[in-house]
Chain A
Amino acid sequence: EADIYQTPRYLVIGTGKKITLECSQTMGHDKMYWYQQDPGMELHLIHYSYGVNSTEKGDLSSESTVSRIRTEHFPLTLESARPSHTSQYLCASSEYGHLPEKLFFGSGTQLSVL
């Protein structure tokens, strides 16, 4: 069973607030990802990391930033939340090796910005 955790599960916050979405995994995976998903729409990759001190922008432009100071931790930060940031954010991880595309997903954070 995948051990990847996201907190909070739900977050309702006002415009202009700074927020950090937490993601941690205990599987020792090197690769971690953040996806954004709106209802009925595709999962869009917004950030990924190959390992500690590695961060890359994904295919969908995002005003969020990420950091990877520890292998197990990949937080996502929005400096000033806006209603357009309302979405579901899914964190995932995978390991190098036989099936690097086999992603393990967290349960997601549903963010609502008022």
Chain B
Amino acid sequence: EDKVVQSPLSLVVHEGDTVTLNCSYEVTNFRSLLWYKQEKKAPTFLFMLTSSGIEKKSGRLSSILDKKELFSILNITATQTGDSAIYLCGFSGGSNYKLTFGKGTLLTVNP
């Protein structure tokens, strides 16, 4: 059965800290791995990763995929209170582009 496991499930840090969020997956027909940020209600797209070893970067956020070991990490450097959110990892498999998500990591950044 395809599944996505995220860790930790929750994390509390102070502003300025660097955090690493983990996502491991088991899928039978992998196409891509995606990261979303969920603040309040609506998740917003962060990254899509399809190739192993290539880092995607956007400001203080970066992500990398290891297709051999079946995991991805999301790094956030110099965290700010606005980074507080649930970070969702999901994969897309097959030709219909459906996404399967993990439970998410709840990140709380305290001032």
The answer to whether A and B belong to the same complex is: yes
Task: List residues of chain A with CB under 8 Å of any chain B CB.
Answer: 2, 31, 40-43, 45, 48, 58-59, 88, 90, 94, 99-108
User: Contact: B45 with A102, CB < 8 Å?
Assistant: yes
Q: Which residue of B lies closest to A45 (CB)?
A: B98
- In the complex formed, the residue of A with least CB distance to B90 is A43
- B1-13: contact bitstring with A at CB < 8 Å (1 yes, 0 no)? 0001000010000
Residues of A within 8 A of B41 (CB): 88, 90, 105, 107-108
Interface SS of B by simple majority: strand
Least Cβ–Cβ distance between B86 and chain A, in angstroms: 9
Q: Is the CB of B42 within 8 A of A45?
A: no
The CA of A41 and the CA of B98, in the complex, are separated in Å by: 18
- Name the residue on A nearest B31 (C-beta): A101
A94 contacts which of B44, B97, B101 (Cβ < 8 Å)? Answer: B97
Could you show 12 A-B contacts with beta carbons less than 8 Å apart? A40-B103, A41-B103, A42-B100, A42-B104, A43-B88, A58-B98, A88-B41, A101-B92, A103-B99, A105-B42, A107-B40, A108-B42
